[in-house]
Structure 1
């Protein structure tokens, strides 16, 4: 009965803090991939215009948008070209201040057709959204210019860049409207957990017995944002769980500490990325048979 009362108390406590974090928005990084054949170079002002358009519109939609050049200035080369998806994803995961939740990686393609009377230009953008912590695929997007754009008959390289720059920004704005709606829907706490933007967390409990884990799992499933729970490793005093939740790392960290307090279990909780390490603090058992102070 006492355990049930504690569980109910913790549940009420967790739901009371929901309004404080329900408005949390993911931290987003927009990155251009120019390693694929035919893509416009990252250094091109056309690519810069697309990045700026995506950042600006998502900022207006209320998302936390960070500029890659600024947050990677001290730790990564700014002159790199032809960066692959793997390199971009590694950069996004390596950024800790601030931690990035979602990366939008896009490729910009452009081509021209020289005619006697004019120059025809076409462009398209495709890419994908990924959850940085888990690598989970969140969506793909493709948008093309449709009808070719007209440029002057003898259009120099500068002329082509200027024409493409204006039109590519239009593509980026149209694309961002779709992405922002999708992200707003996934970030909304009002729909069911099956529809929420779930993150895969790995919870490693070190020094906890099987009986301890049964008590702990009773609490994990009542945390707000809970999606699913799956053991990935089970040993006598070591257990690892794959925990899917729409909660932020900060919120899950608070809930884990509150749970340990309610269960009267002393432990150190540390996390990096999407991995939590909960290491139990043990104390030497008190000797039930104290020595007689009058004896030698």
Structure 2
């Protein structure tokens, strides 16, 4: 990759060009006073669903995974099928992985083009996966710049890839521990046709979607050096896990970026509604575990909202993403 340097008050401007068989991205990155800018000259032409794997400096961009139990009611099958079909549209940039010990679900998801891995550690008495082990196991099997989890009813558009491509080209962030989180947009009754067309997915999010509370986080994307092994054994799918991870990351001084404005995360709302986890068995399992470990009464989960992140991303225009450091915390 060729690079040209020139002065930029008070730091540096980098301009370069990256070409592969299937993608051309021209970018400029500038930094000043906690402001990081990455520009994609032809990002709107990025092809998705190609068989050629995109590599950046010899490494995959992202390893993305999810997990879910056997659907509780028929409508949930449509939700999971939409997620499987949506994620496989990104196969040029990542191979979707499904964690399960259910052989029937394993074979069904593999037919949709996903890879599968077994759940190696569970908790809560309901055989729910210990969240950190999903990341640790994914890292053992796949090498990439970023590792991400999203709930089994979350669908994305190209903003996911644009954000990561922009972030990876910022030199100051290269060796930092990074966590990306954001709010989801709830949309009722998403069809397969809507789930597999990015432009349509964006349109229905505007027309009939609702941006959900910053207290709920449904995706987590981290740098490879995120120390998952040091965290508590909170489980996937129960209350408190999301806010705990954000709070821990902020307390440890990590870079936490709220990406709501650049990553559209569409939540396919079905008959279960938007607060299903509150009605699950052992709904407070994580919160009890956290309280026992830290002895805080009460534990202030509001400090783990998306808006508590110390950075945020936004589009300057359709080809340019800005990462800004917040001058002060709102939490």
The alignment's TM-score, normalised by the length of structure 2, stands at 0.26
Higher helix content, 1 or 2? 1
Higher relative contact order (CA 8 A, sep 6+): 2
The alignment's TM-score, normalised by the length of structure 1, stands at 0.28
